[in-house]
Structure 1
């Protein structure tokens, strides 16, 4: 598609001697949530890390807004407008909520302040515990901080890895609501094992199996395809 925001073509990624991704093809359209699905070890996190330059592709190309970013270092990729929320959240436990937010900022200007105000309205706990060390937050609050820190920059794309992991259902619902609101302002690639969350948020899906793209399409199609969910996701 002409307006494709992110495009991976024939991406192969090795980690040490292990060949993790095999000829991955993957496209993301602006304004949508694209969900990467698959069992543990399928290559979902490695795909996000390869996009960010944290794992190097051994061949193939990653294009963002039409530019080849395959060989760029992570900080250059971030500057081009891609935010990353890692599976382990990546917050600084000894820094306060406010310090964590400021450390993540690329610049401080009126637009950044506007996004900060918006995201603190979205996650009022962060405002409430602004001076509290990140390590003393609950699991859900840490996840909110990690997402908020990536959103506060002027990013065209957010890569979010397993945001529901380890969270209580009521907190998962809050995270779903927050990403639904963020979707109005940015594009999201979501790795998620919780199919309820993935199906609520996703517009399109890609299923990975042993580092290979085995299926993709509109999320509505996957919701109705019981055989596909059983075969690749283990959903009875």
Structure 2
């Protein structure tokens, strides 16, 4: 299977802090690759480093065979990588419709087809199309955030903690949506909810203290209670 994204011994400093100290992983086309680890392990910084928001201080990041390690964020996005940040990143003062229009790179047939699919996946967005983003519930804001990244022909989506703070019934909806989205795009998912991660994920990488310490098919982690307890603190 084609490797779409590859990180090799990536390190990242934020100010005086050495956050990422050697992260390596591969993302295969058409799969959901899940980054797991305890809070503060460096998962979010890893996504931000891929996007160029916290530039790598060493190591390499290759996307479709091209070195993007030192590219600015807007160029990384232009390469076809979408990013759903942990804080959602929507514009509270703009309507749902305006949020989507701002996110669109093009207004072509492909974008229109994706918008139609999004409104099927997220019927609440259609319901609140003319309402300000700030009036949406937490789950609806998360849906809008994912939709904004998915509206373009991105071949890779980086999604950070989509279940955070959401009710279980909304988490189920997000899971269903990710399963639908993986039919059209490759996904790197950071997720603390192991039930969700193990359901939608094809492969996992565990990051601990800024380093990649374990990886494999998700089935392996689901069966390895000792590994889950050691690195994730769950049985």
In 2, distance between residues paired with 1:143 and 1:210? 28
The 5 Å alignment of 1:54-133 reads: 54-133=53-132
Deviations 1:44-82 (A, max 9, x none): 000000000000100111100000011111111001100
Query: Is 1:27 the equivalent of 2:26?
Result: yes
Look up the match of 1:226.
Answer: 225
Residue 24 of structure 1, CA deviation: 1.1
Q: RMSD value over aligned CA atoms?
A: 0.6
Look up the match of 1:48.
Answer: 47
Look up the match of 1:158.
Answer: 157
Please identify, of 21-30 and 39-48, the stretch whose mean Cα deviation from structure 2 is larger: 21-30
Residue 22 of structure 1, CA deviation: 1.1
Look up the match of 1:201.
Answer: 200
Query: Is 1:190 the equivalent of 2:194?
Result: no
In 2, distance between residues paired with 1:10 and 1:225? 26
**Secondary structure at the residue paired with 2:184?**
coil
Structure 2 unpaired stretches of 5+: none
**Secondary structure at the residue paired with 1:8?**
strand
In 2, distance between residues paired with 1:89 and 1:130? 18
Look up the match of 2:216.
Answer: 217
In 1, distance between residues paired with 2:211 and 2:67? 22
In 1, distance between residues paired with 2:89 and 2:114? 20
Look up the match of 2:137.
Answer: 138
In 2, distance between residues paired with 1:143 and 1:14? 29
Structure 1 unpaired stretches of 5+: none
In 2, distance between residues paired with 1:50 and 1:26? 13
Deviations 1:135-154 (A, max 9, x none): 00000000000001100000
In 1, distance between residues paired with 2:59 and 2:107? 36
**Secondary structure at the residue paired with 1:11?**
strand
Residue 10 of structure 1, CA deviation: 1.1
